[in-house]
Amino acid sequence: MRVPKGFKASGVSSGIKPRGLDLALIVSDLPCKAVGLFTSNRVKAAPVLYSKKVLRKGEVRAIVANSGCANACTGSEGLADAELMARLTEKTLGLRRGEVLVASTGVIGRRLPLEKVREAMPHLVEELSPEGFSKAAEAIMTTDTVPKISWAEVKTPRVTGTILGIAKGAGMIRPDLATMLCFLVTDVGVEREMLMACLKEAVSASFNAITVDGEQSTNDTVFLLANGARGELLQEEMPLFREALSRVTEELSRKIVLDAEGATTLIEVRVEGAEDDAQAKRAAMRVANSPLVKTALFGRDPNWGRIMAALGDSGIRLDPSKVSVWINGLKVVSDGKGTGVPEQMVQEAMASGEVRVEIGLGLGEGRARILTCDLSYEYVRINSEYTT
């Protein structure tokens, strides 16, 4: 792991969760240009509302985040709790008001236990170090089984910098950003408007192109902080930054799907030949979110009829007689009809733990790619016991 210059992080146990790390902190030695994207769910958690307000001024120094409590659907009291969490962090770090972003994840409807945060804050600050990102990544986990970290180098003829990201997410995943969190930091300098454009582009092709269960969280948040410690990028160097940022977000989004609650199979749904890209994405997302498709793929059942049914229900322009479908390279549908490929052959092709569903619509140039996973018994168990 390569850490951007001027950034430190930590993760400690405060007792918000019964066990494990649950409080994370990321701090920059220098003021950062900061941008963020948030859930489009109309029910937004208090830290989302608070951090959106902080980002209006565009510069911050730190991110504080907790797991175990979403601080969502907690009214004005919850909003005050989010602000106080920021104030506690600012006071302990010696920062000015409005220099700390806040994020939370966990159970909806419970007040944040601020006394536990207050008591843990000195230890959280003491633990700050460039090596602390691993603990920070662990501290934001809920039903995740592994921490998620990715980094990439930004190398131009003048500047060599780094982008580092940590993320959490395993269930309640269909971000539409704009329960997943992602914090990205970099030591190269980027003008704020351009920083936001780069983040939107990267998120569109990564976090907005995955789904675990079709459920959107109240807390989805992506922050990107740039402190410029390695120097400012020129306009002509921005493509290199965009490429590196996309590599980081795509790797993190893939790790989220691989770690999805109860998942046994990574599924890639590709749609080509739609009228436009928007219709292709709508079709791909409908197939990827179909419980019938997902359960069939869990059981290695080559039931392509479920794919056809989901396409027909996607709301896009569709001519069934032009549809073709491939499962791991085997063409199971041609011109809207089954090809007669032996089911056992398709089952064997699906046995690897990764399934690629390719769909041709034969109507235009639109295309899209969505990553998802299967729906297993274990997913039902985890989510039936989440608060008990």
CA distance 356 to 350: 9
Q: Are 181 and 105 in contact (CB under 8 A)?
A: yes
Judge whether 39 counts as a catalytic residue.
Answer: no
Catalytic residue among 179, 186, 211, 221: 179
Which residue bears the tokens 């989805």?
220
- Give Cα separations from 287 to 90, 318, 321 (angstroms): 46, 14, 18
The answer for residues whose C-beta is within 8 angstroms of residue 102's C-beta and 6 or more apart is 47, 50, 51, 54, 63, 64, 65, 82, 83, 85, 86
User: In 3D, which of 95, 119, 154 has the Cα closest to residue 12?
Assistant: 119
Q: What are the counts of helices (DSSP H) followed by strands (DSSP E) for the chain? A: 11, 14
CA angle 91, 102, 189 (to 5 degrees): 90
**Coil, strand or helix: which one is 210?**
strand
Q: Which sequence positions are flagged as catalytic?
A: 179
